[in-house]
């Protein structure tokens, strides 16, 4: 069975094979999650086997919802599948749209539901090695400084979130 995701084709939302979506740069649904503990943010380094942006640092997790899957359910599922995290309750923060070249002739054109998942005390993280090669807790302001200094180490979407949407996503953390 092919891996299909919700994408717009000729103005109609329809299931389309994931690689085709990215090769054609089709506008599609996505979910991004930031797990936080106070002002610290859990980031992940994408596994080297990922079909785009391997080895780059990204937000806690990001994915595409399954056909008919609610965004919050998708966020909970991917926290478990990518990082072994359970018992977190992602809170919807915003919906943003962006378009970015992710290399290899692929484009992300995503309509993203973004969630914050507060973790009180750092939960045990068990990364799925097919998805994640490393994780790190980093202070929000330190993360912003790292992205500004070494943008090539981070995924295009994380750079976009922090450069263009950080107030809307992080609220009080930005002003701390």
Q: Does residue 131 have an active-site annotation?
A: no
Catalytic residue among 61, 62, 74, 144: 62
For residue 36, give every residue at least 6 positions away whose Cβ sits within 8 Å of its Cβ, in sequence order, or none. 42, 116, 117, 118, 119, 140, 173
How far apart are alpha carbons 15 and 5 in whole angstroms? 5
Q: Does residue 20 have an active-site annotation?
A: no
User: Across-strand partners of 135?
Assistant: 44
For residue 2, give every residue at least 6 positions away whose Cβ sits within 8 Å of its Cβ, in sequence order, or none. 17, 18
The backbone torsions φ and ψ at residue 158, rounded to the nearest 5 degrees and listed phi first, read -65, -40
**Element (DSSP H or E) covering residue 106:** strand 106-118
User: Across-strand partners of 136?
Assistant: 43
Catalytic residue among 61, 82, 108, 110: 110
**Element (DSSP H or E) covering residue 172:** helix 172-175
Catalytic residue numbers, as ranges: 62, 110
């Amino acid at each position: 069975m092919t891996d299909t995701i919700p994408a717009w084709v000729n103005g109609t939302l329809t299931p389309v094979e994931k690689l085709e979506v990215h090769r054609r740069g089709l506008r599609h649904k996505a979910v991004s999650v930031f797990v936080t503990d106070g002002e610290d943010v859990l980031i992940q380094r994408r596994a080297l086997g990922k079909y785009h942006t391997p080895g780059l640092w990204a937000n806690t997790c990001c994915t595409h919802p399954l056909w008919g899957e609610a965004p919050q359910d998708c966020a909970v599922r991917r926290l478990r599948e990518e990082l072994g995290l359970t018992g977190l309750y992602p809170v919807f923060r915003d919906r943003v749209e962006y378009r970015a070249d992710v290399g290899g002739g692929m484009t992300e054109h995503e309509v993203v539901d973004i969630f914050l998942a507060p973790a009180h005390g750092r939960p045990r993280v068990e990364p799925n090695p097919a998805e994640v090669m490393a994780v790190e807790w980093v202070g929000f302001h330190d993360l912003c400084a790292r992205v500004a200094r070494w943008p090539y180490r981070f995924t295009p979407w994380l750079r976009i979130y922090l450069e263009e949407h950080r107030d809307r996503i992080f609220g009080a953390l930005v002003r701390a």
